[in-house]
Structure 1
């Protein structure tokens, strides 16, 4: 049964997924920002029809990367960009693309699930898969109204991500018994290679770590002086904010940044602090941009609208505001809403951690001890390695 599961074609996983939004490699950063703000998507694909850029694929256009709001935020965190964001937004979108190749790969709909897992374990973030449906007249008419939907030679494309594959495997989790019931500690998938920053440290010191976390699809842990996990600066949360968060990252401490991106938008007192510090540093371009954005209601911070208890089926106890480092004994706690630090214990089962991560729409779960000291992190990639190793003898 498990062998047949891994032989599934990726077209099966694309059912119901929306077509990719796309931009040309010749677009600007402002174009990317506009699509991210108006489409409701967390990311946009960037395409090239230039053989030197796309590679030797004949006449085919290729997806050469993926851009999200976090790429744009980190790009704007440089002083020269904050001084004149209007000029920064005129730069080509290619400045936002990571220099590492292989993060986005094209695969055919007939590609097997097993091969897809191998690609993701090997470092791919997104797989670009043609959607196997004929485009009817209504769809073509819709395409005229939505030019950012990717269609090439009559085909649309979709993303497949680590989360998509984990969700699919979870639907057939009984086939892998007894492995899903083993603890993550027993399976040896807790990684101690984590990105951290101290609570009182400037958030700007985490810019490089945020970029790395985005690439690795993890997060930056915010800890106190004793190594206790207080919260996190998560690319998944930042992706739901707007570009003005760059100003907060450059001017606030890590702890204050968590409060700034907390559910409901930035507190007024922190907005005043950010504005004052931008003015002190003569970063008037971003100050004006921030003022305009806030007056238009531009900032958005998305936390889950559903009940955590209902979505996970377990007790969830959020910690108080990060200024009060109360410790929670609930391993499924959101430690700061909006900072979304989802945690588990080394003795938590693999299937429980999978459900936690999927329920909260993150690719990882932090691992802590009873005293909330940080042990490490478990990622979707590590989980996929377990399932892949389970198939090794018969693959």
Structure 2
């Protein structure tokens, strides 16, 4: 059975994966925003392709995925000092300004790449593995290649009839979980015993301006973690999660610029911002004379909702540090899709574990909540650290290597 697991290739994990929707590096941030707002995908792949003066076969080698963007990239970009006064102009910048400088975040691999090699790439920083798959168009007919449109978000067929999908850390963890019995007794050991609790976490005080957490949000997005929101004693109250923030839209930049960290949690986590917080954002935008951002935000508050979250009657008091913080997966983009449903739970109970929690239990917890990390806390809710998918994969890699040694 161990040999069977080791024989798997990345193509085995691609079964049923949809082809990538992509944009060209020649597009603007505005194009990326339009694509994300009109798609159920949280990320759009960005490609550089040379479609000229090359044969079909050689063109395949000149189509390269150079990165990915999500709504959090755009929100953080609009929050920067140079952009917050003129968000409209900022949106006309090339989409390349949103790309991570770390080229290892997205890695091309061949379908025959073995599972252990894929795990190694992820441990070394890859968040998405780009894998070529057979084009549905090619399988059915010899139709011409679909042109790569700047604002199109349809699956892109590259030269030679090749489409691509990508594998995430979650895909690999899910695959390993399906064979978890092969990792006995390692999977039953505690995360503390395995030494995979990372104590280097990013935090922000509940009462601090959310804008002071901007760099922390960008860091946690790059690390696929989250920003812990704590009280004055270091007790975990909730989190500002890039995962949750990615289901908002660009007007969340106004909230980051004007609210406290605690109020920002309420803004993004309640299935729709409470009306009193919306008014607070408007007031503070006016006070700071941020007319461009105010015009953008006023579209939302006037009822023409860009976020269009299902604002049920839930409301959080920003004065109650220990109020429940519901998390919802429903936003303007997902609210229009019947394939996604709201997930409401208490933030601190949803994605925390204890040092004595087993590896398999933490895996299941992270997958259930569609995040790539779990906070580790003590009984008094003080933060010990965080366990990430990459740390889990290091354990599995060591176990797999021991199988062949």
The bucket for the TM-score relative to the shorter chain is 0.7 to 0.9
Q: Secondary structure in 2 aligned to 1:44?
A: strand
Aligned pair count reads: 370
Deviation string for 1:55-82 (max 9, x for gaps)? x998521000000000000000023322
TM-aligned CA deviation for residue 300 of structure 1: 4.8
SS in 2 for 1:258: helix
**1:381 is the counterpart of 2:381:** no
Measured after TM superposition, the shift of residue 262 of structure 1 is: 1.6
TM-score in terms of structure 1 length:
0.87
Equivalent in the alignment of 1:11: 11
Deviation at 1:118, TM superposition (A): 0.2
Could you say what secondary structure the match of 1:76 adopts? helix
Counterpart of 2:97 in structure 1 is: 95
Task: Specify which of 300, 304, 314 is matched with residue 296 of structure 1.
Answer: 304
**1:351 & 1:143 partners in 2: Cα distance?**
44
Deviates more, 1:163-172 or 1:292-301: 292-301
Q: CA separation in 2, counterparts of 1:142 and 1:300?
A: 36
Which of 83, 86, 94 is 1:84 aligned to? 86
What is the match of residue 312 of structure 1?
none
After TM superposition, list the pairs within 5 Å mapping 1:139-154 onto structure 2: 148-152=154-158, 153-154=160-161
Change (3 A) 1:140 1:257: farther
Aligned counterpart for 2:379 among listed residues 365, 370, 381: 370
Residues 147-186 of structure 1: pairs in structure 2 closer than 5 A: 148-152=154-158, 153-186=160-193
The alpha-carbon distance between structure 1 residues 321 and 16, as it changes in their structure 2 partners (threshold 3 A), is farther
Output aligned runs, 1:204-219, within 5 Å.
Answer: 204-219=211-226
Q: Normalising to structure 2: TM-score of the pair?
A: 0.85
Where 2:394 maps in the other structure, the secondary structure is helix
Q: 1:322 to 1:277 in 2, by over 3 A?
A: closer
Instruction: Give, in angstroms, the shift of residue 138 of structure 1.
Output: 8.1
- The residue number in structure 1 matching 2:274 is 267
In structure 2, relative to structure 1, the CA distance for the partners of 1:119 and 1:232 (3 Å cut) is same
Correspondence 1:110 to 2:112: yes
SS of the aligned residue for 1:266 comes to coil
2:121 maps to 119
| 1:49 equivalent in structure 2 | 49
The residue correspondences of 1:309-320 to structure 2 (distance < 5 A) are none
Q: Which residue of 2 aligns with 1:353?
A: 362
Task: Give the superposition deviation at 1:10.
Answer: 0.7
Aligned to 1:313: none
Distance in 2, Cα, partners of 1:244 & 1:229 = 27
Root mean square deviation of aligned Cα: 2.7
Unpaired runs of 5+ in structure 2?
52-57, 325-342
Task: State the 1:290 CA deviation.
Answer: 0.8
Of the structure 1 ranges 236-245 and 59-68, higher mean CA displacement relative to structure 2 is found in 59-68
- In 2, are the aligned partners of 1:79 and 1:283 still within 8 Å (CA)? no
Runs of 4+ in 1 over 3 A off after TM superposition: 56-59, 136-148, 300-303, 320-328, 334-341
Map of 1:191-340 to 2, 5 A cutoff? 191-294=198-301, 295-300=303-308, 323-326=319-322, 337=346
User: CA contact under 8 A between 2:239 and 2:347: conserved in structure 1?
Assistant: no
1:321 Cα deviation after fit: 6.1
Runs (5+) with no aligned partner, structure 1: 304-319, 329-333
Cα gap change, 1:19 to 1:228, in 2 (>3 Å): same
SS at structure 2 position matched to 1:90? coil
Report the CA distance between 1:46 and its aligned residue.
Answer: 0.3
